């Protein structure tokens, strides 16, 4: 079984913010017609073949690892079968980077995942949101401008393709195709 996790913050006030691109990617891939279930403080959906869990932790970004650890343990998912999708200020909006492992790179949500899973060999899709020229917290919790929404729409379509390919092809081939 594989688990694809989109990071974000729960609640209407965080909907469509830069920090929620992981949630947006999962929602876009599954479409708006999916009925999520709730377990272990996470919104999740299991595909019809029962071989992929799509998860949106509802514990707020910086505590995402606790929810992911519970799902990993309950469903006996190998660390090699987890893919995390999240925002990254190291890249401009429109850029996506796929990596098989590494540090959290200053992302507190991902740091919490590494700490909870006691492993940094976690596959990831880093979605660029650009760097702020003002307070970082206000920036990541801010909404996209109309011009940014056009770029975001293209990026989310790309991430949907990445998710689909992740489920079908080898990870090295996935990186070669999209990086």
Residue ranges per structural domain of the chain: 2-178
The whole-number pLDDT of residue 35 equals 86
Whole-model pTM: value is: 0.94
Assess whether pLDDT exceeds 80 at residue 33: no
Q: What is the mean pLDDT of residues 80-103?
A: 94
Q: What is the mean pLDDT of residues 94-101?
A: 95
Neighbour-count burial for 108-141, b at 16+ CB within 10 Å, e otherwise: ebbbbbbebbeeeebbbbbbbbbeeeeeeeebbb
The whole-number pLDDT of residue 32 equals 65
The whole-number pLDDT of residue 134 equals 66
Task: Judge whether 19 counts as a catalytic residue.
Answer: yes
Active site residue: 19, 28, 72, 123, which one? 19
Q: How many CB atoms lie within 10 A of CB 69?
A: 17
Closest by CA position to 10, among listed 52, 42, 39, 35: 42
Assess whether pLDDT exceeds 70 at residue 121: yes
The whole-number pLDDT of residue 117 equals 96
Measured CA distances, 88 to 33, 61, 127, 160 (Å): 28, 13, 6, 17
Confidence label for 55 from pLDDT (cuts 50, 70 and 90): very high
Average pLDDT for the chain: 92
What are the tens digits of pLDDT across the range 83-93? 999 999 889 99
CATH 3.40.50.150, domain 2-178, yes or no:
no
């Amino acid at each position: 079984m594989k688990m694809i996790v989109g990071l974000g913050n729960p609640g209407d006030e965080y909907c469509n913010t830069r920090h929620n691109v992981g949630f947006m990617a999962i929602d876009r891939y599954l479409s708006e017609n999916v009925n999520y279930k709730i377990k272990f403080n996470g919104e999740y959906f299991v595909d019809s073949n029962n071989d992929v869990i799509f998860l949106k932790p509802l514990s707020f970004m910086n505590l995402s690892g606790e929810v992911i650890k519970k799902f990993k343990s309950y469903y006996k998912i190998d660390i090699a079968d987890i893919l995390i999708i999240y925002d990254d200020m190291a890249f401009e909006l429109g850029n996506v980077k796929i990596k098989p492992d590494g540090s959290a790179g200053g992302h507190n949500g991902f740091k919490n995942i590494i700490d909870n899973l006691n492993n940094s060999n976690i596959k990831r899709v880093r979605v660029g949101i650009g760097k702020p020229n003002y307070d970082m917290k206000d920036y990541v919790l801010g909404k996209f401008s109309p011009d940014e929404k056009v770029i975001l729409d293209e990026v989310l379509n790309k991430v949907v393709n990445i998710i689909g390919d992740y489920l079908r092809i080898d990870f090295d081939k996935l990186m070669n195709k999209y990086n």
